[in-house]
């Protein structure tokens, strides 16, 4: 078995809506590397917590839920499917409510501790592109390249608005902006693994850039 430390990692961190999900997926495809969507693990934990009706202030119960997650990712023609207890929850996972609960439970130390090993297991040859909030700071501090992708809250809200509209959901732009700002604040101000760039991260502001432009910059760095 290879030593995990020998497997290259590219860490892409930043707030929701900065484009890091798309950039990370496309980069992993381009390189033929594995991909870790760490936000999906927090969202799956949130769904498990909601399903079990656990109170969000019961740290031990939340930690146990994260530890005992029964999940699977299946890659098929339509992309990656996420299964919780054998049920396909890919669509539900992306909903706003699940994102909000995910960000609340992500501030719980026992939840974060339970997910560390699960995330590190994704580090396999030929390499890993890891997308999240603390990939470069906590989970893979020895990553070969760390990128911190950001964009103004206004543009992130507009992007999210467009995505939801295209899916036929009824949304309100100013409410979305408020939720994005509240989530940023929660992610940045938690005491454990807060959202912040690693000291050695390359900063990219995508406010005025297209996905293609950002991807080109990242590929040049790789
Ligand atoms: O990226 P995504 O919106 O799917 O993440 C949902 C929530 O999970 C984030 O708001 C954040 O609170 C949490 N998260 C985290 N650390 C990560 C990835 C996600 O705390 N590495």
Ligand 1 center to 114 CA (angstroms) = 15
CB of 190 sitting under 6 A from ligand 1: no
CA 173, distance to chain mean position in Å, is 22
What is the spatial order of strands in the sheet that 34-37 belongs to? 34-37, 128-132, 9-13, 145-150, 202-205
Instruction: Flag whether 57 is in a domain.
Output: yes
If pLDDT is split at 50, 70 and 90, which confidence band does 170 have? confident
Instruction: Give the CATH number for residue 35.
Output: 3.40.50.300
Q: Is residue 32 part of a domain?
A: yes
* 189 inside domain: yes
Q: Which atom of ligand 1 is nearest to the CA of 186?
A: 12
Residue 20 falls inside a structural domain = yes
**From the CA of 209, how far away is ligand 1's center (Å)?**
23
3-state secondary structure of 136: helix
Distance in angstroms (rounded) separating the CA atoms of residues 76 and 65 = 27
Domain-embedded: residue 100:
yes
The whole domain housing 199 covers: 7-221
Beta carbon of 43 within 6 Å of any ligand 1 atom:
yes
Question: Considering the entire predicted model, what is its pTM?
Answer: 0.93
Residue in 149, 153, 43 with CA at minimum distance from that of residue 98: 43
Does the C-beta of 42 come closer than 6 Å to ligand 1? yes
**DSSP states of 17-77 as a string?**
TSSHHHHHHHHHHHHT-EEEEHHHHHHHHHHHHHHHT--TT-HHHHHHHHHT--EEEEEET
Domains: count for the chain: 1
Computed over every residue of the chain, the mean pLDDT equals 94
- pLDDT grade, residue 96 (50/70/90)? confident
Q: Which residue in 96, 94, 108, 16 sits closest to 66, CA to CA? A: 108
pLDDT digits (tens, 9 = 90+) for 36-92: 999 999 999 999 999 999 999 999 999 999 999 999 999 887 788 999 999 999 999
pLDDT attached to residue 3: 64
């Amino acid at each position: 078995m290879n030593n995990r430390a020998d497997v290259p990692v590219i860490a892409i961190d930043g707030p929701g809506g900065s484009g890091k999900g798309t950039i990370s997926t496309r980069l992993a495809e381009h390189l033929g590397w594995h991909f870790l969507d760490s936000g999906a693990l927090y969202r799956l934990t949130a769904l498990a917590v909601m399903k079990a009706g656990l109170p969000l202030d019961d740290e031990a119960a939340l930690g146990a839920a994260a530890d005992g997650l029964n999940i699977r990712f299946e890659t098929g023609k339509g992309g990656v499917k996420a299964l919780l207890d054998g049920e396909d929850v890919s669509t539900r996972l992306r909903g706003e409510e699940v994102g909000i609960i995910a960000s609340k439970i992500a501030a719980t130390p026992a939840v974060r501790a339970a997910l560390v090993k699960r995330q590190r297991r994704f580090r396999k040859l030929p390499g890993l592109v890891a997308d999240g909030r603390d990939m470069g700071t906590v989970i893979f501090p020895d990553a070969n390249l760390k990128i911190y992708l950001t964009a103004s809250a206004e543009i992130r809200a507009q992007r999210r608005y467009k995505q939801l509209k295209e899916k036929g959901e009824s949304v309100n732009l100013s409410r979305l902006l408020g939720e994005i700002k509240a989530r940023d604040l929660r992610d940045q101000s938690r005491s454990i693994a807060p959202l912040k760039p690693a000291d050695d991260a390359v900063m990219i502001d995508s406010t005025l850039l297209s996905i293609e432009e950002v991807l080109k910059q990242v590929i040049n760095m790789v």
